[in-house]
Amino acid sequence: MAVLQIKSFGGISPKVPPRYLQDSQAQTAINCPVFNGALVPIQDVGAAVTTLAKAGVPQTIYRFGQDVVSDSQYWFHWTTDVNVCRGQISGDTSEWTFYTGDGVPKATYSTIALSGANYPAVSRPLGLPNPDLALTANADAFVADQYSAEVVLTATHVSLLTTTYGILVSTTGQAAGNYTTVTLTAPIIAVSVASAVNALGSVSATAANGEVTIKTDVTGETAKLYVKFQTGSVSDTSIAFSYSGIDYSATGTADSYPYLVIDDTEIGSIASGNVLVLSVDGTDRVNAAATGTMTATTLATFFNSRMSGQLVATAYGGCVVITPGTLGATASANMFYRRYTGSSEVKLVEANGSEAAGPARIFIKQADVDSLETRYLSVLVNGTESFIPVINPSTVSSLATLKAYGLSSTVYGVADPIAAIETVSVGSNVTCDCAAGTTA
């Protein structure tokens, strides 16, 4: 550690520039005789600037209120050796000040420090003080008269509402005749639903964060509120059902065969000159450079023109599905898709077959779902048919609700996605058929 040692003091040298002063010389020397080379203060010179209030000999003094030039205010003082530091807080107008050596570390600021004559008058120990008493909790008495009956329609509920059926509200009972229909108009959002409900007059509705909170105007134990809504009519299967539009069917397999999905995000990333590889069982069936921008349709054509039926590429929406053809329909099959930029592999999609029994699988694209909106989807799984109303709007993600009918759904793609619909049951005896239709 560097040490600055001054052996003697020679007083001021006013004509010497500051940078050329010797160690013993000074620019200013006030009230300190230096005749004998020692630095000694002159006592009892001039009038006292203030009187310190603490009894005893002060060992530490510190001038508080440093934003004001003053000799008389405000002098913190202690009869012990104390270290004091102003807080480094930007924009602090209270002059938080911290010090140690006077018991536990403390802090003070202008409002409390200057509240008495013995500065600092009041201080606070740093940290959180221990509570004097243990915490206790007392339950508030529930007064039913202070509360309304309340129902909250979540954002999911609001998304299911339709202009066809509206919502039903009752403040008296659950009998059909007790309900009043609230007609909804497009677009159906939380704010418009709340406005329509408020028109009833017996309840109040507010919208926040996509939700609608409905409360009765009356309060108390007798306040009642019933809210229900309908998303569609399940058809009476005893009447005629007219099939039209999509009709997809599939059968399960004794073994699980591999399939690959190249989604729209990957297809949009293919650049001219990228090398695309499709392989089955370790042998490349396609190894060629892309030419130009690819779409799902052009990519499927690109692959099929080079595979001669060994694998089959099918465009579904914005995605391409690669399934076994004359090759790959075995439990031990391995298929992969790779894309290279130069010698670097930038994408890999791989699938393997297995000896486990496979489900019946159908691929449905967003355009199919769009054609189903406000109609019905006939789902026939292992001979059991169910008729499912499709709300408007719907997406391929909405097909996740088919799990109630023995089907699972996996979505691929983002901009123009597809859903792989599979039966929960597996094996060569499993069948599935999905068709569109309307009731007569």
pLDDT digits (tens, 9 = 90+) for 351-403: 999 999 999 999 999 999 998 888 888 899 998 888 888 877 889 998 988 88
Which one is predicted more confidently, 255 or 32?
A: 255
Decide: helix, strand or coil at residue 130.
Answer: coil
Is it the case that residue 128 has pLDDT exceeding 90?
A: no
pLDDT band of residue 100 (cuts 50, 70, 90) is very high
User: Other C-beta atoms within 10 Å of 106: how many?
Assistant: 18
User: Other C-beta atoms within 10 Å of 77: how many?
Assistant: 19
Which class does domain 255-355 fall in?
mainly beta
Average pLDDT of span 77-106: 92
Decide: helix, strand or coil at residue 191.
Answer: helix
Under a CB-based contact definition with an 8 Å cutoff, are residues 189 and 251 in contact? no
pLDDT for the residue numbered 237:
43
Least confident of 64-78, 127-141, 155-169: 127-141
pLDDT for the residue numbered 142:
65
Three-point CA angle 211, 215, 219, nearest 5°: 155
pLDDT for the residue numbered 317:
94
Beta bridge partners of 359: 426
Is it the case that residue 144 has pLDDT exceeding 70?
A: no
Helix (H) or strand (E) holding 365: strand 359-365
pLDDT band of residue 1 (cuts 50, 70, 90) is low
Under a CB-based contact definition with an 8 Å cutoff, are residues 252 and 423 in contact? yes
C-alpha span between 214 and 153 (Å, rounded) = 8
C-alpha span between 319 and 296 (Å, rounded) = 5
What letters, b where the CB count within 10 A reaches 16 and e where it falls short, cover 398-435? bbeebeebbbbbebbbeebbbbbbbbebbeeebbbbbb
Q: Which residue has 């983002």 as its token pair?
A: 414
Q: Which residue has 């769009």 as its token pair?
A: 370
223-270 confidence digits (pLDDT tens): 899 998 877 654 444 446 678 888 999 999 999 999 999 999 999 999
pLDDT for the residue numbered 439:
62
Amino acid occupying residue 176:
A
pLDDT more than 90, % of the chain: 53
Average pLDDT of span 300-321: 96
Average pLDDT of span 300-323: 96
Average pLDDT of span 33-62: 79
Mean pLDDT over each residue of the chain, to the nearest integer = 88
Under a CB-based contact definition with an 8 Å cutoff, are residues 172 and 149 in contact? no
Which one is predicted more confidently, 42 or 8?
A: 8
pLDDT for the residue numbered 117:
81
Alpha-carbon torsion angle 50, 52, 57, 62, nearest 10: -80
Most confident listed range (31-40, 123-132, 398-407, 414-423): 414-423
